[in-house]
Structure 1
Amino acid sequence: MRWVTFDCFGTLVDWRHGILTSADLIAPGQGPRLLEAYNRHEPDVQAETPELRYRHVMAESLRRACAEEKVELQADDASVLAATIPYWPVFPEVEAELSTLRAAGWNLALLTNCDRDLIAETLRRLPVRFDAVVTAEDARAYKPANAHFELFKRSYEPAAWVHAAQSYFHDMVPAHRLGIRRVWINRQGEQAPDPTIIQRVLPDLHGLLTAVQNL
């Protein structure tokens, strides 16, 4: 079977919008600062405690972001990201581009640094059916560890496999390490620390079928 695997948040769901607007609920006007601080802290929390459930990773990362930015956080406010994540918006091109992949005979899967309960809520909002989902809870690790990719390979034995994701750090690096073909969905216009690991790059999902077929 032919598979395209995706990261979910940042690639299909607008992660930055979700964190920024959620942070604004508890600290009005501070969302942009807290978003950037959060993104600095989350990888550290995941690396320090890979067994921690993702809702608790988000809470601890938000606590650290607020402490760094000197934003007061009430004790129960740290749960705001887990509470709002089911409502974070899906990027507008997702339905058409993923439907095109499916029509061309590709199976679709998610490899996500999320828990089963949280991704189940998000799947209700995604407009295209996925054939498989591998969570951090299943893999017992967080990307950029190899565990998601290895579990997917053992479980589905893909005959052809392309991974498409927004995060260079969480997704492109391990996919390259494991020899998986890959498309970087570079929504933020970032510079790759090592451009040699990037095989294809798109600014969003438009044209993904062509990129996948060319690999």
Structure 2
Amino acid sequence: MKWATFDCFGTLVDWRHGISTSAELVAPGKGERLLAAYIRHEAVVQKESPGLRYREVLAESLRRACAQEGVALGDDDVSVLAATIPYWPVFPEVGAELSALRAAGWNLALLTNCDRDLIAETQRRLPVPFDAVVTSEDVGAYKPADAHFDRFRRAHAPDPWVHVAQSYMHDMEPAHRLGIRRVWINRQAERPKDPSIPQEVLPDLHGLLAVVEKAAR
């Protein structure tokens, strides 16, 4: 059975917009600065505490970002990201591109660094249903650890299997390490440390079906 797996935030949902605009609610005019600081802190928090619920990762990473930028947070402010995550916008091309994959016989799954309840809220906004979901809450770890991929492989024995994601560190590196075929959605026009790690590269999801099928061959 052929499977295309996806990271959610950054790949299907505009994670950067969600964090920066949510940060504006508690620190007007500082959303972009807090986004940049947040990105640096989140991976550290996840590595330090792989069993932490994602809503707590969101809160602690925002807390550290605000401390770095000299922004005072109220006690309730640290929950702003978890509160707004169900409303973060889905990229406009997602519906058509995922529908094309499904029409071509691909099963779809999410491998997400998120809690079950938060991804359930987000799925209500995704325009195409998913056949399977693996969360950090399920596996007690955060990507780039292997746990999401290992759980999915054991549960579904996918063949072929193509993983599609925006994050080079969280997704492309472990997928390469584990021998999973992969498509990098390079929305930020980043330069990879090792160009051999992304098997196929797109700037967004437009034309995804052809690239996934190329990667699967």
TM-score range, shorter chain: over 0.9
Report what 2:35 is aligned to: 35
Residues of 1 paired with 2:209 and 2:174: CA distance? 22
CA RMSD in angstroms, aligned pairs only: 0.4
Deviation at 1:114, TM superposition (A): 0.2
SS of the equivalent of 2:204 reads coil
Query: Deviation of residue 84 (structure 1)?
Result: 0.1
Aligned residue runs from structure 1 range 1-80, under 5 A: 1-80=1-80
Aligned to 1:202: 202
Matched residue type, 1:7: D
Following TM superposition, by how much is the alpha carbon of 1:139 offset from its aligned partner in structure 2, in angstroms? 1.2
Q: Distance in 2 between matches of 1:55 and 1:143?
A: 16
**Secondary structure, counterpart of 2:78 in structure 1:** helix
* CA distance in structure 2 between the partners assigned to 1:125 and 1:197 by the alignment: 31
Runs of 4+ in 1 over 3 A off after TM superposition: none
> Counterpart of 1:148 in structure 2: which amino acid?
H
Q: Alignment partner of 1:195: what SS?
A: coil
Aligned length: 215
Aligned-partner Cα distance in 2 for 1:62–1:12: 22
How far is the alpha carbon of 1:176 from its aligned partner? 0.3
Cα displacement (A) at 1:159: 1.6
TM-score, normalised to structure 2, is 0.98
What SS class does the counterpart of residue 196 from structure 1 fall into? coil
| TM-score normalised to structure 1 length | 0.99
> In structure 2, what is the equivalent of residue 212 of structure 1?
212
Which residue matches 1:127?
Answer: 127
Structure 2: state its 5+ residue gaps.
none
Partner SS, residue 65 of structure 1? helix
Aligned to 1:142: 142
Task: Give the C-alpha shift of residue 199 in structure 1.
Answer: 0.8
Secondary structure at the residue paired with 2:155? helix
